[in-house]
Structure 1
Amino acid sequence: MEVVLSAAAGDLVSRFFSFLIGRYSEAPCSEEKHAERLQQLLLRAQMVVEEADGRYITNSGMLLQLKMVARAMYHGYHALDTFKCNQLIREGTKEVMSSGSFASYLATPLKRSRANAGVSNHQVDNNCDLQDALLNLETVVSNITEFVILLGGCEPMFRRPYDTYLYVDNCMFGRWTEKQQVINFLLQHNPRASPSVLPIIGGYLVGKKTLVAHVCNDEKVRSYFSSILHFNGDNFHMVETERCTGRALVVVKLVSEVNDEDWKSFYWAVTSISTESKVIIISRMESLTRYGTVKPIHLSRLPDEEYSYLFKALAFGSAHSEDHPKLTLLAGEFIKLLDGSFVAAYSLTNGLRTNLSLQFWLSMLKRYKNVTKNNLSMFGEHPSDRFKKRCAVDFTNFLPFPRCSTTPYASSN
């Protein structure tokens, strides 16, 4: 009996080790298959998202599903890029990491005053699991049939060829749902025979004015209103009603509290233009939502996956990031330094996109790292924090590159 048990135990142990060996030997192959499958699903998801961006969607359920598809798509792209970058590091360690300056930029951490802000040591952030992203996207895509059918019945937007050619610069990354919500608000009849008011609330430089600018540039919106007026807290009470006829879209940017009597006077002036006029409030102050007649739209900074997608789309332009694996790896280092800043992303990528050589990108990364280091040393703050406070930022190290000026940072949003 003991001999039988011993033989059985030995067989089980042997099978267990065989299972472990087989599992880990097949893991790379499995990862490759997951990456290939994820790439295929991402193409399908991207087609749906881009098609939806060119349609007027009035169904709130469809807008919610569009947001889910977009999030799964960004998550998938982030996971795929992370996998490819880690694969580049693992497989090309001798060639890539021991080759002079390229390795030094990835190996030297930058001390910063916040957690998780340094440049990694030969590693790419691997919080995003390839298999989880694949499962998430498969679930979303498998339930997308009805959405695509309904999308075909939505009215297409008019786009000039120029807009199509510059699609990357004109699309709203991560703001499709909000853009559609604003357009739907503007094109609906006012239910109370008085101007409807939509507050758009969000932090500094999260894209509030950009969102409204894209909406105001929509052909259907422009043809619906006879005039589009822009005011701020200093002059919003100076609406010249006699110079306006027909429906008016009034956009008012408020950076401080407003007196209720001043608001009543402003609202009466807008009403006297037309009861079908609309008002959009742009502000960082939650208290101003009290003037809204509809549910406010709140904007926050983009999630990391969406910001990563935005930066790479802007940096590579019409080129494919797959053709530049080392630059994709460097893009991750830029993203860590920029701390989610829209302005910094657009300013830097304007230069990066013009020259897709490794040496140029390394030079730009070195300069921006020095800018960040100098500001941390001089002010004890990251440049993005100083932008938000509208404080001076030292850009001395960027002076040799005229494309990367500090001028855009003076604007507020």
Structure 2
Amino acid sequence: MELAVSALTGELVSRFISFLLSKYSSHEISEEKQLERLQQLILRVSTVIEEADGRYITNSGMLMQLKGLADAMYRGHHVLDMFRCRNKIQENSIKEVSSPFPPLKRFRAIVDAAGHDKASRYLELHKTLGILETAVDHMAEFVVILGGCERMSRRPYDAYLHIDNFMFGRHTEKQRLLNFLLEYNSQGLPPVLPIIGSLAVGKKTLVAHVCADERVQSQFSSILHLNEDDLLRLAHSDTLLSGKMLVVVEFVSDLNEKNWEEFYTSLTQMNQGSKVITISRFRKSEKLGTVKPILLDIHSYEELSYLFKTLAFGSANPRDHPRLLQIAEEFAMQLQLKSSLVAANFLADVLRRNLDVNFWLCMLNRCITVAEKNFSLYGEHTRLLLEQGHRVDITNFDSSPAAPLHIVPCIGANSTGKDLPRVKFTELLLDPSVRPKGEFTLVSWESRLPPYTSFVHFVPNYSQDFPEDKPLSGRKRRGDPS
């Protein structure tokens, strides 16, 4: 009897295991088909987005749909990379008895990006597929109307071939700015469009990109770029403000309403059809507008992840480097929360030169350490500190610092006003010996796009006495008692 029970139990266990294996095998096939479907949907959506970037879109509903398509596309890229990377790592783990790759204990593993177990990852895949399928189902009408939109005479740079020289994203913002500049306006004072966003999110790049459009250039007799110091001087000029003009005013500091009112009143001499754009980091400048402002936010995590991986891998295929792809996801998370597009560019430039796992891990560890140290000292992330003009401690970026390394941002200028040695951040990260003795200017990034802005910082001489680090006013250090 016991032998019969034992045999029956063994048979049931064997059948149960066979059932699980067959179910797992069919599930794997199903997952692969879903990933192929996801890739096809991404291709269809990206084709439409690229075509939309080459046309003038004035329909507000289409602009909302374009934004939804772009969001779905970047989300799809993120999920596809997540699964492809996970599968590649699992394949390598089966082939390798032991891996030299150190465990990512403190880093956010890409295989867990959608959740802590398989069920949540599959749920994310199904959810993303549903979003893309819905977007594609509603895309037919969008494509038909898009075919009736006028094509731009000069195609924009192709984002997939020349992303270093391309204004990434901002699809709907670009169309809104074009519509403002090309639409007819009635007599009276010229309309004003405020463009507002934090430091280094691409405000001036957006304006320069749109102003390079041939229709915009033919619309105005001249395009005048000013800062707040020029307002009163131009207000009393009888010649510079004549004609049909586009005036772009950049506010680096807070708004002086009295100077602006005097300047804006003087614009009555400008011809009908003239326009004004203001660029500022301060929401207070929203009151200057006569139309709804364009607010430039930091790119979403999915967008920044796509951009960073494209820049960091260059011509290399990310799927050939699954471990690096895993680390790139964590870089994107850190950058989206604590840094900026400038940091994404110079870090990607450094990483692209050395596709080595240990090197990427070392750079990631330095980024996290610098962010945590500054937050502990000042109670703010480095991105916000730089926006406020506060100095930032980047000593930990140097592998063997001879002295503390702090930077003081030079906001609104391409130089410090001093004749100092200039060092690029990428050079300093790759070879700390290039650091000059004493004061120098650190160039974090020089844009390859008009208006070719240089993001520069002053580095003080720490061989002299320098004031001790203090928390920002009204803020606590991490760990301070309540």
Q: Does the pair score TM above 0.5? A: yes
2:427 aligns with 402
Report the TM-score, using the length of structure 1 for normalisation: 0.81
Q: How many residues align?
A: 385
1:284–1:376: structure 2 CA closer, same or farther, 3 Å change rule? Answer: closer
Residue 126 of structure 1 is matched in structure 2 by: 114
Distance apart, 1:300 and its partner CA = 1.4
Q: Work out whether 1:81 is the aligned partner of 2:81.
A: yes
User: Retained in 1: the 8 A contact 2:110–2:326?
Assistant: no
CA displacement, residues 90-140 of structure 1 (integer Å, 9 cap, x when unaligned): 44346689533x324x22x1xxxxxxxxx2268542157111111110111
How far residue 211 of structure 1 moved from its aligned partner, in angstroms, is: 1.8
Contact kept, 8 Å, 1:225 with 1:248, in 2: the verdict is yes
1:270 corresponds in structure 2 to 267
Matches within 5 A, 1:347-358: 347-358=346-357
Higher helix share: 1
Residue 217 (1) aligns with residue 205 (2)? no
8 Å contact kept, 1:201–1:284? yes
Which one is further off, 91-100 or 228-237?
A: 91-100
Distance 1:355 1:20, change over 3 A: closer
SS at match of 2:223: strand
**Aligned mates of 1:125, 1:197 — CA distance in 2:** 43
Change in Cα spacing, 1:24 to 1:241, as seen in structure 2 (3 Å) is: farther
2:323 match: 326
- Which residue is 1:11 aligned to? none
Residue 390 (structure 2) pairs with residue 391 (structure 1) = yes
Q: In structure 1, what is the equivalent of residue 419 of structure 2?
A: none
Q: Residues 203 and 148 from structure 1, CA distance in 2 versus in 1: closer, same or farther, beyond 3 angstroms? A: same
Contact kept in structure 2, 1:42 and 1:76, CA below 8 Å: yes
Greater relative CO, 1 or 2 (CA 8 Å, sep 6+) = 1
Deviates most, 376-385 or 336-345: 376-385
The 1:162–1:280 alpha-carbon spacing in structure 2 relative to 1, beyond 3 Å, is closer
CA displacement, residues 321-372 of structure 1 (integer Å, 9 cap, x when unaligned) = 2333232112112113323521110111122234444454344334434444
Q: Give the CA deviation at 1:172.
A: 3.5
Q: C-alpha distance in 2, partners of 1:235/1:178?
A: 27
Counterpart CA distance in 1 for 2:226 and 2:197 is 18
State how far apart, in whole Å, the 1-side matches of 2:228 and 2:250 are: 6
Partner of 2:170: 175
Residue 275 (structure 1) shift: 2.9
Contact 1:197 1:279 in 2 (8 A): yes
Distance 2:383 2:256 in 1: 32
Q: Aligned pair in 2 of structure 1 residues 78, 122: CA closer, same or farther (>3 Å)? A: closer
Task: Report the CA distance shift for 1:305/1:60 in structure 2 as closer, same or farther (over 3 A).
Answer: same
Q: Is the 8 A contact 2:224 2:247 kept in 1?
A: yes
- Corresponding residue of 1:31: 31
43-52 or 212-221, which moves further after superposition?
212-221
Moved more, 20-29 or 146-155: 20-29
Question: Compared with structure 1, are the counterparts of its residues 346 and 66 closer, same or farther at alpha carbon in structure 2 (3 Å cutoff)?
Answer: same
The one-letter amino acid of 1:351's match is V
Any residues of structure 2 matched to 1:244-393 within 5 Å, and which?
Answer: 244-340=241-337, 341-358=340-357, 360-372=359-371, 374-376=373-375, 381-393=380-392
Secondary structure of the corresponding residue to residue 238 of structure 1 = helix
Distance 1:194 1:244, change over 3 A: closer
Mapped to 1, the partners of 2:160 and 2:325 lie a distance apart of: 23
Q: Which runs of 5+ in 1 are unaligned?
A: 1-14, 110-118
The reply on whether 1:204 has 2:161 as its aligned counterpart is no
Q: Structure 1 residues 27, 225: closer, same or farther in 2, change over 3 A?
A: same
Deviations 1:154-190 (A, max 9, x none): 2222447977896313444331101100011001121
With 207-216 and 365-374 compared, the bigger mean Cα shift is at 365-374
CA distance in 1, matches of 2:135, 2:109: 35
Give the 3 Å change call, closer, same or farther, for CA 36–157 of structure 1 in structure 2.
Answer: same
Between 1:31-40 and 1:287-296, the stretch displaced more is 287-296
What residue is the counterpart of 1:151 in the other structure?
146
Q: Within 2, Cα distance between the matches of 1:97 and 1:123?
A: 20
Structure 1 residue matching 2:185: 3-state secondary structure: coil
- Residue 196 of structure 1 contacts residue 294 of structure 1 at CA under 8 Å; is this kept in 2? yes
Aligned-partner Cα distance in 2 for 1:165–1:202? 26
Aligned to 1:236: 231
* Cα distance, 1:42 vs structure 2: 0.7
CA contact (8 A) 2:89 2:322 kept: no
Letter in 1 for 2:88: L
3-state DSSP of counterpart to 2:427: coil
Q: Distance in 2 between matches of 1:25 and 1:135?
A: 24
Deviations 1:251-307 (A, max 9, x none): 112245545442232113333132321111112333322221111122211221111
1:33-52 alignment, distance < 5 Å:
33-52=33-52
Question: Following the alignment from structure 2 to structure 1, what is the Cα–Cα distance between the partners of residues 47 and 269?
Answer: 45
Indicate the residue corresponding to 2:477 in structure 1: none
Q: 1:332 to 1:146 in 2, by over 3 A?
A: same
> How many Å separate the matches in 1 of 2:41 and 2:273?
44
Corresponding residue for residue 480 of structure 2: none
Question: What SS does the aligned partner of 2:391 have?
Answer: coil
